[in-house]
Amino acid sequence: MRTIRHAVSAALLLVLGSTALTAVAQNNLDLRYEYDEIVVSVPFEDAEAETALPVTVLAGETLYEDVGDSLGETLKHQIGLNSASFGPAVGQPVIRGQTARRVMVLQNSVGVTDVAAFSPDHVNAVEAILAERIEVVRGPSTLLYGSGAIGGVVNVIDNRVPESLPDQTQFSLRQTSNSVNSGANTAVRLDAATGNLAFHISAYRRDNDNVEIKGFAIDEVAVEALEELVAEHLEEEGHHEEEEGHDGEDHEEEEVENTQGFIGNSDAEADGTTFGFSFVGDNGFIGFSVSELNNDYGLPPGAHGHHEEEGHEEEEGHDEEEGEEEEEEGHEEEVEFVRLNMESSRQDLRAGLDFKDGWIRSVRASLGFTDYEHSEIEFFEDGDSHIGTLFTKEGTEGRFTLTHAPMGNWSGVIGLQTSSSEFSAAGEEAFIPRSDLSSTGLFLVERYDGGDFTAELGLRLEDNSVDPNGACENETSATSISGSVMYDLNEDSNMLFSVSRSERSPAVEELYSNIDANTCAEFADEEDLVVHAATGLFEIGNPNLDKETSNNLEFGYRLQGTRFTGQVSAYYNQIDNYIFLDLAGEEHEGVQVANWLARDASFTGFEAEVAFNVMETDSTALSLRLFGDAVAAEFDAGGNVPRIPAGKLGAELSYLAPKWSANLQATSIGDQEDTGELELSTSGYTNLSFYADYNFTFQGDSDLKVFVRGDNLLDEEIRNHASFLKNFAPEPGMGITVGLRFDY
C-alpha cells in the first residue's frame, strides 16, 4: 500500500506540474521530447505516437548521455525501467518489476543466446555502447517474441547488417574516462558503401578498476539482521540445525573483508568487434555479419556463497606442476575471490524484400548463430586458481515476417519464429543438467484503421521443449492473444487501451535445478545437491510446474501538442502460476534450501512523464521534464513478491544552444518497505546527475563534441532493492565522466 500511495502522490505532482508550467510555455515550440521515433519492435514499425503499446526509445543524444557499463545501467533512468545489479559489472534490465526469464533481450529483433537469465550474476551478451538505438516494450510482448517476453522486450539495434546504403561515409569515435572506477571506454564505428554494397565495422574496449563508493561495501547491520531473520524462520519451521550429521556450532562461516571507499574485486574489462555487409537493391537487401564479444569481470566479496572447498581435485584445464605436493583432501582453502569470463561469437544473416503491388507487400528474414562460453574462475588464498564452473550454450534462432496488403480497412503481419540451443554446465556449480532447448512460434497481428480509432488483434501459438537428456522431457504449448485500441481525441492526443493474455513455459532452471533427470525427482542422496553460489541457496526445481498465464489490462493517455508532450499509463497484471524461489524452511550443510514453486500474483503500477519548453528564443530553449513510476506486486494468498524496485519521481531541466547543451536531473527513489519473505526493507535516496557538452564544427561535415557527466553528485550510499547483492555492494559513489565524440 505504501507503494500505491507513493504512486498516487507522484501522479498528482506530475499533473499539477504540467498544469502550472503550461501557463508559461510558448506556442510552436521545438520540443526536445517527442514521440516520432519509428519503432521496429512493434508489429507495424510505427512511430511512438502511432502505437498503442507502451514503448521507450533511446536514440541519438539521449542514448549517448545515458549509456552505461551494462544494459540495465543504461535503461534504469527511464519510466517503468530499473536495473537488477549484481555488482558494478552486471545490470540486468527490469521492466515493471520483472526481469530474467520474463524480460527478453534482443539484438536487431533476434534473441540473444546467453545464460544471463539463468543467474543474476551473469551479464547480458549484448553491449549498449555501440547501439544505434534501444527500444523497450514495457509490458507483455509474447505475441511477437515468445513466452520469454511475458514481462517486456529490450531490443538493441546496431545496424550491423545495413538495410540501406548510407548517403556518405560515416565514421564516429567515442572516448570516455570515469573517475568512479578509473574507467577508460573507447568505441569506433564506420558505415560506408561502394556501389550496391554497404559495410559496417565497429569495435569497443572498456577497462575499469575497482568502483569507488561512499562508506563500507558491506552493510554489516543489514547482514546480521537478515541472518537473524533467517534463523528465526528456520526455527519456526523446525528445521534449524536439526539435520542428521549437521552441527551448527561446527560450521565455520566464510569471513568476508569489508572494504571502505571501494568495492573489492569489482574491476572489469571488455572488448568486442563487429563486421557486416549487405547487398542493397531497389527493392530489398541481403547481408551477413560476424561479431566477437568478451567480458571479464569480478564479483564483489560476499557475492558467491562458497564455503570451505573440500575435495578440490585436479580438473580439466588445471595442471599441477610436477613435484608439487598433492593433498589427499584436495584444496582446503577458502575461495578468495571469483571472476567471470564471458566469450560470445555470433553470426547473423538478414534479408528483406519490398513489393509495390500484390498481396505481399514486404518480407523480412533473420537467422542468428551463437557460440557462447561462460567461465567462473575461483582464486584461492595461496595464489592457485581453477575454473569452478563452465557454462556453454550454442544456439540458432530464426525469424520470418510477412506484411500483406490492406484488405479493406485491415492490414496485417504474419510471422514465424524458431530457436534451438544446447546448454551445459560442468563443475562445482553445475546444478542444472545438460539440456536441449527448442521453441517454435507462429503469430498473426491484424490492424483495423477506423479513422479516429485504430484497433489491433493478435494471436501467437508456440511449442516449447526442455530436454535434460533423461526421462523427464518437458513439452508445453503456449497461446497468447492480445487486443488494443487507440482513439484520437484530437490531432494532439489519444487514449490507449490494451488487454492481453500471455503464457510462459517454465524454464530449465525452474524445472530441473538439482533434479535427477533419470528419476525426475530430487537427488536421493542429499550430498549430490549443488549450491547456487550467486544466491547462496540449494535451489530445487519442480518438473511438474505448469506454465505461467498473464492477464494484463492497461489504460493510457498520450499528448504531443504545441505546448508540451506527455504520457501516462496505468496497468494491472494478474499472473496465474507465477514461478518463484520459495525458501523451504530448512538447511543442508548450513545452506538454505529453496524450492521453485508457483503461486498466483498481481502487479499493479503506473508510469507518467511530461515535458515542456519553458522558454525559447530563436537559438536557445529551456525545457523541463517530470517523470515517475511505481509498481506493487503481491501474492494473492498474501505477502509481497520479492526484489520489487521502489517507485521513483524525478525532474530534468535541459538547456539547448547552437553550440552546447546542458541538463540537470534529480531522481528521488522511495523507501521500499513492501518486502517479500526473508527480505529487508531498503532506504530511499536522491540521485542528482549533470551533463554538459560543447560542439566544434569543422569543414567537411565533421564535428567534435566534448562532454562531461556527473553521477550521484550527492555521493549517496545507494542500495538497490532489486539486487541480490544490496547488502554487499552498493551502487557507485560520486563519479565524473569526461569524454569526446568525433563524427564524420
Per-residue pLDDT of 416-448, as tens digits, reads: 999 999 999 998 889 999 999 999 999 999 999
* Three cell numbers, residue 282: 531497389
Question: In this model, does residue 243 exceed pLDDT 80?
Answer: no
Least confident stretch, 153-162, 177-186, 519-528: 519-528
Mean pLDDT, all residues of the chain: 87
pLDDT (tens digit per residue) in 585-610: 788 888 889 999 999 999 999 999 99
Least confident stretch, 304-308, 415-419, 435-439, 469-473: 304-308
User: H or E stretch including 386?
Assistant: strand 385-407
Contact 287, 278 (CB under 8 A): yes
The pLDDT score that the predictor gives to residue 279 is 97
Residue 313: phi and psi, rounded to 5, are -100, 170
DSSP conformation class of 371: E
pLDDT (tens digit per residue) in 244-280: 444 444 444 557 789 999 999 999 999 999 999 999 9
pLDDT (tens digit per residue) in 14-63: 443 433 333 333 333 344 455 566 788 888 776 666 788 889 999 988 89
Question: In this model, does residue 11 exceed pLDDT 60?
Answer: no
The pLDDT score that the predictor gives to residue 239 is 55
Separation CA 468–CA 475 (nearest Å):
11
Residue 687: phi and psi, rounded to 5, are -105, 115
Contact 691, 63 (CB under 8 A): no
Q: Do the bridges between strand 133-138 and strand 152-157 make them parallel or antiparallel, or are there none, so unpaired?
A: antiparallel
Question: In this model, does residue 12 exceed pLDDT 70?
Answer: no
Type of residue numbered 522 = E
DSSP conformation class of 249: G
The pLDDT score that the predictor gives to residue 333 is 60
Question: In this model, does residue 107 exceed pLDDT 80?
Answer: yes
Catalogue the E-assigned strands of 589-701.
591-616, 621-635, 648-656, 660-669, 685-698
The pLDDT score that the predictor gives to residue 321 is 41
Separation CA 202–CA 172 (nearest Å):
9
Give every CB contact of residue 45 below 8 A, 6+ residues apart in sequence.
38, 39
What would the mean pLDDT of 689-698 be, rounded to a whole number? 94
* Three cell numbers, residue 236: 519456526
Q: Which band of pLDDT confidence, cut at 50, 70 and 90, is reported for residue 13?
A: very low
The pLDDT score that the predictor gives to residue 428 is 84
The pLDDT score that the predictor gives to residue 525 is 82
> How would you label 194-207 residue by residue, b for 16+ Cβ within 10 Å and e otherwise?
eeeebbbbbbbbbe
Q: Which band of pLDDT confidence, cut at 50, 70 and 90, is reported for residue 305?
A: low
What would the mean pLDDT of 649-669 be, rounded to a whole number? 95
The pLDDT score that the predictor gives to residue 40 is 83
What would the mean pLDDT of 377-381 be, rounded to a whole number? 88
The pLDDT score that the predictor gives to residue 667 is 97
What would the mean pLDDT of 189-208 be, rounded to a whole number? 96
The pLDDT score that the predictor gives to residue 32 is 45
Q: Which band of pLDDT confidence, cut at 50, 70 and 90, is reported for residue 475?
A: very high
Question: In this model, does residue 128 exceed pLDDT 80?
Answer: yes
SS3 label, residue 450: coil
Q: What is the pTM of this model?
A: 0.90
Separation CA 335–CA 298 (nearest Å):
13
